[in-house]
A = this chain, B = another copy of it.
């Protein structure tokens, strides 16, 4: 069987997903495309020789009988309406992060999904499909390091542009740690604190960079995340889990080691797009395969979308109250999402 897919939003990531479904992955086909920028969407259909129809209205696309599943890849503020529509139509929907721009909007989707009594939503937090994180989770779950107690993480970018603001360190950068770490630890967040180290001379004047976010979980695990978006040296993701019996590290990408010019060295990526490039393939392939086999989706759920949104909100407040420990008051997780 082939899953017939409609795409809403053909910008940067939308186009990437269209290409991977068409050229790389198996079992899915782009049959419908929508974007408020009609010309661009049509150009993509033509350029990639897609056997797909353009829809001027995203809601119409969702309701079309031709469409089995929807990809919501338009800009964030429009996610909620399309995801909600898809759920109401009982159609599978893959929504790029964020699920919605507020925790309350996320909850609305959660409730609609529970009403439909079916897991229909997958959120685009692709790190859960990264082989490194998967292997790290396996190491933890096998009990190799005992119960996790502390997690040291870092999210480093070589540079960001002028438009990048302090809150984006949470909403655009750390958001990926927010999602992946509670999944990794099988836990939930209960408080957050932000502290500001000495500022790098390489950041724009309005930006606090680096930052350290300290998060506590229900089980008492303490997470520290260094966010450093003008670190210059490379795009680098660190995750070190300290357990009762040992420590486990997120693998670094396998690169060619050399001995050159008085040094043993291994390249570090400069471009974040390369770091999790395969995880994008795997998340979409999993989405397609699970639909095809009638299995439950195994990626981030709409509940995870809500948890991420709420946690990010508190972290942003914590940014505004440096040194203060703020509670993260999450609703009880419904059985439906356990």
Using a CB–CB distance below 8 Å, which chain A residues touch chain B?
Answer: 22-27, 131-132, 135-136, 138-139, 144-150, 152, 193, 195-202, 210, 212, 214, 216, 219-222, 224, 226, 228, 231-234, 236, 242, 244-270, 285, 289, 323, 325
Contact = CB atoms under 8 A, between A and B. Distances in A.
A266 B81 CA distance: 46
A219 B210 CA distance: 14
A289 B234 CA distance: 33
A24 B256 CA distance: 27
B246 A259 contact: yes
A1 to B, nearest CB: 9
The copy count of this chain in the complex is 4
B214 A198 contact: no
A240 to B, nearest CB: 9
A12 to B, nearest CB: 21
12 contacts: A131-B254, A139-B256, A195-B222, A197-B222, A200-B244, A210-B242, A224-B224, A232-B246, A233-B247, A233-B262, A236-B259, A264-B266
A244 B260 CA distance: 10
Nearest to A152: B152
B257 A245 contact: no
A210 B264 contact: no
B254 A145 contact: no
Contacts of A236: 259
A256 B289 CA distance: 27
A236 B263 CA distance: 10
A26 to B, nearest CB: 5
A18 to B, nearest CB: 13
Nearest to A267: B263
A266 B136 CA distance: 12
B197 A256 contact: no
A24 B220 CA distance: 41
B150 A197 contact: yes
Contact of A255 (B135, B269, B270): B135
Nearest to A135: B256
A244 B150 contact: no
Nearest to A220: B198
A255 B251 contact: yes
Contact of A220 (B149, B197, B224, B249): B197
A78 to B, nearest CB: 29
Interface centre among A25, A152, A262 (most CB of B within 10 A): A262
Contacts of A197: 149-150, 220-222
Given A25-B26, A198-B221, A246 B258 contact: yes
A150 B246 contact: no
A30 to B, nearest CB: 12
A252 B251 contact: no
Contact of A147 (B131, B198, B234, B263): B198
